[in-house]
Each structure stands twice: as structure tokens, then as C-alpha cells.
């Protein structure tokens, strides 16, 4: 009986996150911008912004590890940037360029980054 209750409780607990998980699937750049711009008053602000920051950090980390330094087209300033600054910049950039809303989230993110933080060679 206890095992059945436990299984039932786990099934119910798993049902709630499914809808929430769908909210965090990125099909395009507009969805990433929506998450990055989640207002502080929203009940999921912390989760949404953390997800956004994770995408930013993961994409850039992969870029740095997979791209030789001589081939990089994105070079953040030596003084550094916060993820919040990059997220805000990306949201503003995309608002001004709605033609990229349906592009892949990472494609648009790097289009923004290349424009905002080009390498000076």
C-alpha cells in the first residue's frame, strides 16, 4: 500500500513539471529573449532568468572550447561582462531586429554577440 501511494505521489509530482518544462523549450530566438526578459514580478523570474543565463554561459563555453582563438569572431571586453548585461543586450538587440525572432536561439545569440563584441584583429 505504501509503495502504491509513493508511486502515485511521484506520478502526480511529475505531471506538474511537464507543463513547466515545455515553457523552457527554446524553439527560436524570441523564446530565449522572452525568458531572459522575464520581469522580477513574475512567479518564475528566478527560474527563467537562471535558465537564460545557463543558455548564455553554455553556448559561450562551448564556443570557446570548440573554436581556436585565432578563429573566434566574438571577443568580450577584457573588463568582463555579467550574464545580466549580455542577456539585456540580447533582448534589446532582438527587439530592434525582429527578422531574427524565428532564427535558432543560439544562432541569433551569436549574431548579436558578433555585432556587440567583435574581435579586433
pLDDT of 83 higher than 90: yes
Q: For the whole model, what pTM was predicted?
A: 0.80
pLDDT number for residue 80:
87
CA distance 30 to 103: 8
CA-angle at 80, arms to 30 and 116, nearest 5°: 45
Extract the C-alpha cell encoding 23.
Answer: 515553457
CA distance 121 to 119: 6
pLDDT of 100 higher than 50: yes
Beta strands in the chain (DSSP E): none
Read off the pLDDT of residues 51-73 as tens digits, 9 standing for 90 and up: 999 999 999 999 999 999 999 99
Amino acid at each position: 500500500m505504501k509503495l502504491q501511494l509513493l508511486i502515485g505521489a511521484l506520478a502526480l509530482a511529475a505531471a506538474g513539471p511537464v507543463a513547466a518544462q515545455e515553457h523552457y523549450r527554446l524553439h527560436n530566438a524570441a523564446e530565449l529573449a522572452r525568458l531572459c526578459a522575464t520581469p522580477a514580478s513574475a512567479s518564475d523570474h528566478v527560474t527563467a532568468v537562471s535558465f537564460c543565463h545557463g543558455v548564455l554561459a553554455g553556448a559561450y563555453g562551448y564556443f570557446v572550447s570548440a573554436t581556436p582563438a585565432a578563429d573566434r569572431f566574438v571577443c568580450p571586453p577584457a573588463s568582463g561582462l555579467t550574464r545580466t548585461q549580455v542577456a539585456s543586450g540580447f533582448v534589446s538587440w532582438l527587439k530592434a531586429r525582429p527578422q531574427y525572432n524565428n532564427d535558432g536561439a543560439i544562432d541569433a545569440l551569436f549574431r548579436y554577440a558578433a555585432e556587440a563584441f567583435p574581435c579586433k584583429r
